[in-house]
Amino acid sequence: MAVQAADNDGTNVEVDVHLNDSLMNPGLISPDKEDLSRLLTVPFSGRIRGGMRPGKKIIVMGIVDLEPDSIDVSLTCGRDSEKEEQQQPPHDVALKLTVRFTDRQFLRSARVSGKWTVEEASTSYFPFIPNQPFRVEIHCEHQRFRIFVDGHQLFDFYHKVKSLSSIDTVRIQGDLHITKLG
């Protein structure tokens, strides 16, 4: 299902709100607020219906800002508000992808039981360009996430959070405009 939403400048953009896996079972990314005019605003937080499982993929399409510092895309366990998170132990983060433009790094890490793993940093190339569109695909497999940018496989990230179905939230923040989620 596609939803039309107005971007900040009033232009209409199409948002594909279904996550499809190879078993043809749709999952839904739904914004924390049902206001469609805010559907694509950054920071974004949305639910992954049924959590992650092998065969499911997350697609983030967007445009990098003109003078970017960083972009973060995270798959987390839990959807509490920022206020509630400050009062409780932090949720596990199954995968945090961080794009840093100052040193052209594409980093990945995880947080399990409140502790961050060592950041992994090696990539074959840096695919993000200021003021240009991009497409990130996160494919969930039995042992790992496989990350693609603009159709090129960049790296694998082996699961640190073993209960894939508990990975139920996608969070996006940083210097970008989201044009489509799927």
End-to-end CA, the chain: 10
Backbone angles phi, psi at 15, to 5 degrees: -115, 120
Spell out the alpha helix ranges (H) of 70-153: 82-87
Q: What is the pLDDT of residue 156?
A: 96
Domain boundaries, the chain: 44-81+90-181
Whole-model pTM: value is 0.77
Q: Do residues 58 and 170 lie in contact, with contact meaning Cβ atoms separated by under 8 Å?
A: yes
Q: What is the pLDDT of residue 87?
A: 57
Which CATH number, 1.20.1440.120, 2.40.30.170, 3.40.50.1820, 2.60.120.200, labels domain 44-81+90-181?
A: 2.60.120.200
**What is the β-pairing status of strands 70-76 and 105-112?**
unpaired
Q: What is the pLDDT of residue 157?
A: 97
CA-to-CA dists, residue 32 to 21, 94, 99, 130, angstroms:
22, 19, 24, 28
Q: Hey, how many other C-beta atoms are within 10 angstroms of the C-beta on 24?
A: 7
**What is the β-pairing status of strands 152-158 and 144-149?**
antiparallel
Q: What is the pLDDT of residue 11?
A: 35
Per-residue pLDDT of the chain (182 residues; tens, 9 = 90+): 333 333 444 333 333 344 333 333 444 454 444 444 445 799 999 999 999 999 999 999 999 999 999 999 999 998 654 444 455 667 999 999 999 999 999 999 999 999 999 999 987 789 999 999 999 999 999 999 999 999 999 999 999 999 999 999 999 999 999 999 98
Q: Do residues 32 and 79 lie in contact, with contact meaning Cβ atoms separated by under 8 Å?
A: yes
Q: What is the pLDDT of residue 78?
A: 83
**130 preceded by cis ω (within 30°)?**
no
CA-to-CA dists, residue 72 to 35, 136, 175, angstroms:
23, 12, 9
Q: What is the pLDDT of residue 43?
A: 94
Q: What is the pLDDT of residue 40?
A: 78
From CA 73, how far away is CA 10, in angstroms rounded? 25
